Every structure is written in structure tokens, then in C-alpha cells.
């Protein structure tokens, strides 16, 4: 006989409450983790979307990429030796749109036009992150910059290229040099799995290490990830507490069932069945809700929830729920049938 | 050979420093098919004796022999199996499972005792027993909607549905009024006689003794035949 099912059918309210707690906590966790991922995307999609590889900047820059100036001879040496390598620079700045409104952007330029890592931009042209479209900028618009003599014509848009929460503006290397009055590039990127090369005067960074040198990135991700894991732990404790309370209420019942000869294993199975059933239904609901949120979230809100993340978190929830329920269920083993009988009516 | 024998059973409870011997060498045999009533003052150790006999707690010393096997030396799983298939229990309170209907209470017991009956035979058997306890019209009711007497009749049905060898009852009528108590007593007698179930029953109600075959009295940790 399926005791687990029979009990849930009779005590719908109790299990509904448990289910809605699991639902709310997991939904909150999904949303926060979507936000964390969205913010990280908004902060560094430009870098995150690059393939695996090594970043190099000068040692004296003290891990601050916009203080780095790689001299031309070193740059040449690396670029000659490694086909796909590319030197590039990033600077925060402004573009004035046709309505003379200042738009904050991250200017990006690169040397190697053959590598497909960065788009190939002609002099006097600019390619923008698609979020600029929402600001009313169209292909063909002429944009200006206070340090730049000519005009930059919008040639096209790219999806999801952000740096430091600003839309990326790809420009030609000569235009970049004019705007920022520099000759050197800040960074060299060497794609591939190879271990970092030792180059005098330069320091190498993996992608993750490089992301962590971006001042806001590290702090932001750390606090958001902390919230996510706190929520996971709290939900685990909620599970344990709820099952504990339900089990305490049922001590008498467990005692009677044991007295008439039910196996302890059957009682655990009953609890596990209920836990898995409630958790899966709640998780399916909160996955659905978080995906709907993903669709309807306002465009400006950095929110990005991948299926992998949701799936991974769901598995963690299931495991934590299982552990919580099982820990609280240890008392089932301790129940003496005799106690229950002497305690009177359940 | 008697079906069930208690041989020099002793039980000592320790409360901190104080040791108290409640059972001081009980010798008692149950004859097959007989109803034995266990009487005695409150606190004399009747419930302790009954639960030791039923395998719900161990004796400190002595033998509990059922069907030639000493329960006192069995492990938990072996005792559980005997409780599930050879013993039936009725207590002062019905202790029904709150989320099961009357019919399901009995189905559960058949399940626990690993009944060999198929689904259809189980239903027929349940109907038959429910008719005997006059509860067939409440087959689909949950315990919360039953009266005390009705609950106790369901508890009795549950205690015998799997045809146990022995029925243990601890003051089964204590929570009922005198009219209902008589009904329940008569029911227990009728059922155990038809099904040839041996019964050990604790009671403190003199009126009930006219329904039993034999009365033993607990006094000073020992039993005396009355
Ligand atoms: N688990 C226990 N621990 C300590 N003392 C107990 C325990 N169970 C019963 N007793 C004591 O044993 C004595 C007999 O109890 P019990 O068998 O319930 O008596 P009766 O059923 O005859 O009223 C009582 O004094 C009771 O306090
Ligand atoms: Mg008693």
C-alpha cells in the first residue's frame, strides 16, 4: 500500500505549505542566480565570450589593464610567433549621438584583423553593442567624440557585447590612437589551451584571473554568489526543519506502525517518496516561473538564466532536500513502539 | 506443549540510582484458543508483562517462548516478523492510522503481515471481518469521523484480519462506557473463538471477567491463578 501517497492525499494543506516553501526558496535562488549571471554578462561579456586563452599585460601596470602599455617590439614578437594572437585595448569613454546626447561606451580596438576574435573596423567607422539600438541609434548615424576630429559612422550592431556595464564600441586602431593619444596596446590575447608563456616584462592571466582584475566584477560576483549559496543552505535547513516538525507530529503514528510490524525502511521510503514528490513538483514550477521571468524581464534588467544553471541548482536542491529529510528522519529509527502506545491516542 | 510460555520472566526498571524490580519471576502458559485475563492493582506491572510477552520490550531475564522459539534471544527483525504475522494488538486507544479509511487500515495490516491472498481475496476477507465487527457500512470512513466504540471495533478488526496466533489486548474497553465495553468484550470472545485465536488480555473491569476462560492476578511482581 502506498502510505506516502495516501497521507499526502488526506493532508493536502500540510504538504501544500511545504511545497510552496520549496517553490518560493528555489524560485528566489533561480532569480538571484539569473541576476548574478546577467550582471556578470553585463559586466564582462566582451571578455567572457572570448575563447579559452591567456591574457598578457605589463608587470608595472600592477594588474590594472588600462595602465598597461605593451611596447611595439614585444607585441610584434608575440604576434609573429603566434598566429591567432591579437593585441587589443579597452577604454571607457563617450560618444555623442546625432541628438548631441552623450552616451557612455567602452571603446575596443584590436590589431589582428585576420583573427575573428574582434570585428574588423575601417577608419571612421564604428560597430556598437545592440543595446545602443534601444537608445535610438541606427545604422548610418554619424557619432562624434570630443577628442576625435572626424565622425564615426555606425556600420552595424553586435549582440551582447558589454564591458563594465557599458555597451562596447569597436573602432579602428588609428581612430583609437587619435582619441586616446597612445601608441601602445594594453593587452595581448593568445587563444588556446597552452600554458602561459614567460615573456619578460609581461604578466599572464587566465580568463578567470583577468576577469577578477576588473574592479567591480569580483566584488559583484562574490556577493551575488554568496547570496545564492546562502539561499541553497537556508533552503536545506528549511527542508530539514519542516520534515523534522512533520516527523515529530507523527512519532505516535510511527510507533503504532512499528508495533503492528511495519519495517523501519518502509517508513523511510514513505518520507523519501513524499520529499522527492514535493520537491520535484515545486522545482518544475519554479523552473517554469523563472524561465517566464527570463522572457518577460524588462530589457534593461541584466538577467540571464541558462538551463544548465537551473538544472544544476535543481539537483543541488534535491540532494539537500534528501539529506535534510533523512537527517530529520533519524528520529524515526529511534521511535519505540511502546512509547507511542503508552502516550494515548494519536 | 502450550502455544506460549513465560518462564521466570523478570523486569527491572532503573530510574537514576533506584532500581525497581517490577516482574519477579513470572511463570505463565497460555493454552491454545483460551482467553486469559490478567488482573491486578494499577501499577502492579500488567502492561509491562503484556508488552514483554508481545515482543514490544525485552525482559531483563527469563524466557518468552512462542511456538517453541525463545523470543528473548531473537533480533529485532525476527521479533518484528513475529509481531507482524503471528500477533495481533488491541490497546486502550484504537491507534488507527489517521489518513487511512477503515478498509485501508485492514489492507495495511494484510500488507504488513505479507498476506498471501490476492487483491480480490483480500477485499472479500476485509468485507467478512468488517461484517463481524459490524462496521461494513463505514468501510470508506476515516477514523476522525468514527465514535470511540467504532474505532475500537476497527482496531479489533485490524488485530485479527491477518489471523494471528495470539491476540494481546491491554485494557481494550477502558475508554468505552459500560454498554460499549460489554459489546466489545463479546465481540472479542466471539471472534477469537471462531478464529481459534489465543488471547491474553489485561483488564481492571470485574464485569469483563465473565467473558473469559481464565483469570490470573498480578501481585508483588508474581502471577497467581484465581
Ligand atoms: N519504561 C519504564 N521505566 C520505568 N518504570 C516503568 C516503565 N514502565 C513501567 N514502569 C513502572 O512499572 C510499574 C508497572 O507499570 P505497568 O506495567 O504499566 O502497570 P499496570 O499496567 O499494571 O498499571 C509502574 O510502577 C511503572 O511506573
Ligand atoms: Mg497498564
Could you read off the pLDDT of B46-90 as tens digits, one per residue? 999 999 999 999 999 999 999 999 999 999 999 999 999 999 999
Q: Are residues A246 and A325 in the same domain?
A: yes
The set of cell numbers assigned to B153 is 471495533
Kindly state the average pLDDT of the residues B97-113: 96
Residue of higher predicted confidence among B28 and A322: B28
Nearest to A317 by CA among A228, A248, A246, A245: A228
User: Which of A81-85, A90-94, B27-31, B121-125 comes out lowest in average pLDDT?
Assistant: A81-85
User: Which among A146, A181, A205 is the end of a domain?
Assistant: A205
Does some domain include residue A212? no
Whether A190 shows a pLDDT value over 80: the answer reads yes
Q: What is the pLDDT of residue B74?
A: 94
Burial environment of residue A249 by CB neighbours within 10 A (0 to 12, 13 to 18, 19 or more): exposed
Q: Is B98 on the interface with A (CB under 8 A)?
A: yes
Whether A113 shows a pLDDT value over 80: the answer reads no
Q: What is the pLDDT of residue A100?
A: 86
Crossing angle of helices A307-334 and A215-249, rounded to 10°: 30
Does some domain include residue A48? no
Q: Are residues A329 and A235 in the same domain?
A: yes
User: Which among A205, A232, A259 is the end of a domain?
Assistant: A205
Of A260, A263, A338, the CB nearest to B109: A260
Chain-chain contact of A256 with B95 (C-beta, under 8 angstroms): yes
Q: How confident is the model at residue A239 (pLDDT cuts 50, 70, 90)?
A: confident
Chain-chain contact of B89 with A259 (C-beta, under 8 angstroms): yes
Q: How many CA atoms lie within 13 A of B109 on its CB side?
A: 32
> What percent of chain A stands above pLDDT 90?
47
Q: What is the pLDDT of residue A107?
A: 95
**Residue whose CB lies within 8 A of the most ligand 1 atoms, among B21, B39, B45, B53, for a mutation test:** B45
Q: Is A333 on the interface with B (CB under 8 A)?
A: no
Protein residue with least CA distance to atom 3, ligand 1:
B13
Q: How confident is the model at residue A244 (pLDDT cuts 50, 70, 90)?
A: confident
Q: Are residues A194 and A65 in the same domain?
A: yes
Atom number of ligand 1 nearest to Cα B171: 21
Protein residue with least CA distance to atom 2, ligand 1:
B13
Residue of higher predicted confidence among A272 and A116: A272
φ and ψ at A120, to 5 degrees?
-90, 115
φ and ψ at A172, to 5 degrees?
-70, 150
Q: Are residues A198 and A129 in the same domain?
A: yes
Q: Are residues A196 and A270 in the same domain?
A: no
Model pLDDT for residues A46-100, shown as the tens digit of each residue: 998 899 999 999 999 989 998 999 988 888 888 888 878 899 999 999 999 888 8
Does some domain include residue A213? no
Distances (CA, A) of A101 to A21, A98, B105, B119: 48, 7, 78, 81
CATH topology of domain B4-225: Rossmann fold (3.40.50)
Q: What is the pLDDT of residue A330?
A: 86
User: Which among A170, A205, A240 is the end of a domain?
Assistant: A205
Q: Residue B46: CB within 6 Å of ligand 1?
A: yes
| H or E stretch covering A106 | strand A102-110
Pairwise CA distance, residues B61 & B43, whole Å: 20
Task: Show Cβ contacts of residue A192 under 8 Å, excluding neighbours closer than 6 positions.
Answer: A51, A52, A53, A54, A84
Q: Is A345 on the interface with B (CB under 8 A)?
A: yes
Q: Is B91 on the interface with A (CB under 8 A)?
A: yes
Model pLDDT for residues A249-269, shown as the tens digit of each residue: 888 889 889 999 999 999 999
Strands A166-171, A162-163: parallel, antiparallel or unpaired by DSSP?
antiparallel
Q: Are residues A140 and A250 in the same domain?
A: no
Q: Is A14 on the interface with B (CB under 8 A)?
A: no
Burial environment of residue A96 by CB neighbours within 10 A (0 to 12, 13 to 18, 19 or more): middle
Task: Show Cβ contacts of residue A298 under 8 Å, excluding neighbours closer than 6 positions.
Answer: none
Domain boundaries, chain B: 4-225
Which ligand has the shortest distance to the CA of B21?
A: 1
Q: How confident is the model at residue A248 (pLDDT cuts 50, 70, 90)?
A: confident
Nearest to A70 by CA among A51, A50, A85, A53: A85
Kindly state the average pLDDT of the residues B106-122: 95
Chain-chain contact of B109 with A338 (C-beta, under 8 angstroms): no
B53 alpha carbon – ligand 2 mean position (Å): 14
Q: Are residues A192 and A281 in the same domain?
A: no
Q: What is the pLDDT of residue A112?
A: 67
| H or E stretch covering B224 | strand B222-225
3-state secondary structure at position A325? helix
User: Which of A125-129, A178-182, A235-239, B177-181 comes out lowest in average pLDDT?
Assistant: A235-239
Q: Residue B199: CB within 6 Å of ligand 1?
A: no
Inter-residue contact A79 to A85 (CB < 8 Å): yes
Q: Are residues A67 and A179 in the same domain?
A: yes
B147 alpha carbon – ligand 2 mean position (Å): 23
| Domain span holding position A339 | 2-43+218-343
Kindly state the average pLDDT of the residues A106-125: 87
Q: How many domains does chain A have?
A: 2
Task: Show Cβ contacts of residue B10 under 8 Å, excluding neighbours closer than 6 positions.
Answer: B21, B23, B24, B25, B26, B59, B60, B61, B62
Q: What is the pLDDT of residue A345?
A: 57
Q: How many CA atoms lie within 13 A of B164 on its CB side?
A: 32
Task: Show Cβ contacts of residue A287 under 8 Å, excluding neighbours closer than 6 positions.
Answer: A30, A310, A314
Return the bridge partners of A157, or none. Answer: A128
Return the bridge partners of B201, or none. Answer: B37, B169
Q: Are residues A123 and A173 in the same domain?
A: yes
Q: How confident is the model at residue B27 (pLDDT cuts 50, 70, 90)?
A: very high
ipTM for this prediction? 0.88
B161-200 CB burial, b ≥16 within 10 A, e <16? bbebbbbbbbbbbebbeeebbbbbbebbbebbeeeebbbb
Q: B121-129 long-range contacts, Cβ below 8 Å, gap at least 24?
A: B125/B161, B126/B161, B129/B157, B129/B160, B129/B161
Q: Residue B219: CB within 6 Å of ligand 1?
A: no
Distance from CA of B108 to the nearest CA of A (A): 6
Instruction: Cite the DSSP H helix spans in A58-161.
Output: 72-81
Q: Are residues A231 and A155 in the same domain?
A: no
| For the ranges A317-321, B138-142, B170-174, the one whose mean pLDDT is highest | B138-142
Q: Is B142 on the interface with A (CB under 8 A)?
A: yes
Pairwise CA distance, residues B74 & B78, whole Å: 6
Distance from CA of A319 to the nearest CA of B (A): 28
Share of chain A residues as helix, strand and coil, in percent rounded to the nearest 5: 55, 20, 25
User: Which of A162-171, B175-184, B192-201 comes out lowest in average pLDDT?
Assistant: B175-184
Model pLDDT for residues A216-228, shown as the tens digit of each residue: 888 888 888 898 8
Q: Are residues A35 and A83 in the same domain?
A: no
Which ligand has the shortest distance to the CA of B22?
A: 1
Q: Is A261 on the interface with B (CB under 8 A)?
A: yes
Whether A282 shows a pLDDT value over 70: the answer reads yes
Sign of the alpha-carbon dihedral angle for A174, A180, A186, A192: negative
Q: Residue B53: CB within 6 Å of ligand 1?
A: no
Q: Which residue of B has its CA nearest to A257?
A: B97
Kindly state the average pLDDT of the residues A190-207: 86
Q: Which of B83, B86, B95 to mutate to test the interface with A (most CBs of A within 10 A)?
A: B95
Whether A126 shows a pLDDT value over 90: the answer reads yes
Amino acid at each position: 500500500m502506498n502510505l506516502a501517497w495516501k497521507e499526502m492525499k488526506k493532508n493536502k494543506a500540510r504538504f501544500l505549505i511545504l511545497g510552496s516553501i520549496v517553490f518560493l526558496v528555489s524560485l528566489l535562488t533561480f532569480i538571484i542566480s539569473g541576476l548574478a549571471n546577467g550582471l556578470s554578462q553585463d559586466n564582462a561579456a566582451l571578455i567572457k565570450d572570448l575563447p579559452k586563452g591567456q591574457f598578457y599585460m605589463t608587470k608595472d601596470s600592477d594588474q590594472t589593464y588600462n595602465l598597461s602599455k605593451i611596447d611595439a617590439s614585444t607585441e610584434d614578437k608575440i604576434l609573429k610567433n603566434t598566429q591567432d594572437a591579437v593585441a587589443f585595448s579597452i577604454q571607457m569613454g563617450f560618444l555623442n549621438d546625432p541628438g548631441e546626447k552623450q552616451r557612455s561606451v567602452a571603446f575596443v580596438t584590436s590589431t589582428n584583423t585576420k583573427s575573428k576574435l574582434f570585428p574588423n573596423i575601417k577608419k571612421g567607422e564604428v560597430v556598437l553593442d545592440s543595446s545602443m539600438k534601444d537608445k535610438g541609434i541606427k545604422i548610418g548615424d554619424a557619432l562624434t567624440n570630443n577628442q576625435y576630429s572626424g565622425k564615426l559612422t555606425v556600420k552595424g550592431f553586435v549582440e551582447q557585447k558589454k564591458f563594465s556595464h557599458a555597451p562596447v564600441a569597436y573602432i579602428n586602431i588609428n581612430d583609437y590612437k587619435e582619441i586616446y593619444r597612445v601608441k601602445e596596446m594594453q593587452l595581448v590575447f593568445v587563444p588556446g589551451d597552452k600554458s602561459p608563456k614567460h615573456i619578460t616584462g609581461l604578466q599572464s592571466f587566465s580568463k578567470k584571473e583577468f576577469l577578477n582584475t576588473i574592479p567591480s566584477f569580483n566584488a559583484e560576483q562574490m556577493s551575488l554568489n554568496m547570496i545564492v549559496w546562502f539561499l541553497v543552505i537556508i533552503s536545506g535547513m528549511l527542508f530539514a526543519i519542516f520534515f523534522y516538525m512533520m516527523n515529530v507530529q507523527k512519532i505516535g503514528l510511527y510507533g503504532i506502525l512499528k508495533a503492528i510490524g511495519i519495517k523501519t525502511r518502509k517508513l523511510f521510503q514513505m518520507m523519501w517518496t513524499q520529499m522527492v514528490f514535493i520537491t520535484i513538483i515545486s522545482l518544475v514550477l519554479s523552473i517554469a516561473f523563472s524561465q517566464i521571468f527570463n522572457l518577460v524581464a524588462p530589457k534593461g534588467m541584466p538577467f540571464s538564466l541558462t538551463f544548465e544553471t537551473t538544472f544544476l541548482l535543481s539537483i543541488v536542491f534535491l540532494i539537500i532536500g534528501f539529506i535534510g529529510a533523512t537527517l530529520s528522519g533519524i528520529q524515526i529509527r529511534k521511535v519505540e513502539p511502546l512509547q507511542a502506545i503508552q502516550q494515548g491516542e494519536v | 506443549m502450550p502455544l506460549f510460555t513465560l518462564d521466570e520472566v523478570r523486569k527491572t526498571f532503573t530510574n537514576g540510582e533506584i532500581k525497581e524490580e517490577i516482574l519477579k519471576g513470572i511463570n505463565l502458559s497460555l493454552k491454545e484458543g483460551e482467553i486469559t485475563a490478567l488482573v491486578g492493582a494499577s501499577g502492579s506491572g500488567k502492561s509491562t508483562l503484556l508488552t514483554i510477552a508481545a515482543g514490544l520490550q525485552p525482559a531483563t531475564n527469563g524466557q518468552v517462548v512462542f511456538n517453541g522459539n525463545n523470543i528473548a534471544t531473537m533480533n529485532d527483525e525476527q521479533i518484528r516478523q513475529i509481531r507482524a504475522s503471528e500477533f495481533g494488538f488491541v490497546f486502550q486507544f484504537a491507534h488507527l492510522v489517521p489518513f487511512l479509511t477503515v478498509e485501508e487500515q485492514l489492507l495495511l495490516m494484510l500488507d504488513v503481515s505479507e498476506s498471501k491472498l490476492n487483491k480480490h481475496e483480500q477485499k472479500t476477507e476485509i468485507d467478512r471481518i468488517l461484517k463481524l465487527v459490524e462496521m461494513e457500512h463505514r468501510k470508506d470512513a476515516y477514523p476522525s469521523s468514527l465514535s470511540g466504540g467504532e474505532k475500537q471495533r476497527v482496531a479489533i478488526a485490524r488485530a485479527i484480519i491477518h489471523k494471528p496466533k495470539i491476540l494481546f489486548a491491554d485494557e481494550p474497553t477502558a475508554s468505552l462506557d459500560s454498554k460499549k465495553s460489554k459489546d466489545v468484550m463479546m465481540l472479542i470472545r466471539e471472534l477469537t473463538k471462531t478464529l481459534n485465536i489465543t488471547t491474553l488480555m489485561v483488564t481492571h473491569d470485574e464485569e469483563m471477567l465473565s467473558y473469559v476462560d481464565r483469570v490470573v492476578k498480578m501481585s508483588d511482581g508474581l502471577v497467581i491463578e484465581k
